[in-house]
Amino acid sequence: DAGITQSPRYKITETGRQVTLMCHQTWSHSYMFWYRQDLGHGLRLIYYSAAADITDKGEVPDGYVVSRSKTENFPLTLESATRSQTSVYFCASSPRFTPLHFGNGTRLTVT
């Protein structure tokens, strides 16, 4: 089915561990984005990518790493998870200058 898929849906990890959140889209959209959603802050942009092998920082990139070796995949890695990274993470994609298509999110808890 066409769409944008995030995995896992839920993840619990310990402080200091590395964790990778996956995002896969089937539309071949050029642009992909990672947001985090926290109460009181709304959605904040972590990283975005305009095409394969092109990534750029958003508003809150510290502690996160992204890669985009293929157009359809945009994984987000927390190199050493901290409790402040407990959040709901959303991946989105779009062709340029059009609305974003969001996945259903990954709820990450760092203990």
User: Which of 21, 23, 36, 48 is close enough to bind other proteins by CB under 8 A?
Assistant: 48
For position 105 contacting other proteins by CB under 8 A, the verdict is: yes
Per CB under 8 A, contacts with other proteins among 14-33 are 31, 33
CB-count burial class (<10 Å; 0-12, 13-18, 19+) for 43: middle
| Residue corresponding to tokens 């990672």 | 34
Taking residues 50 to 89 in sequence order and writing x for each that binds other proteins by CB under 8 A, - otherwise, the string is: x-----x-xx------------------------------
Q: Are 35 and 42 in contact (CB under 8 A)?
A: no
Residue with smaller CB distance to other proteins, 6 or 85: 6
Q: Are 93 and 100 in contact (CB under 8 A)?
A: yes
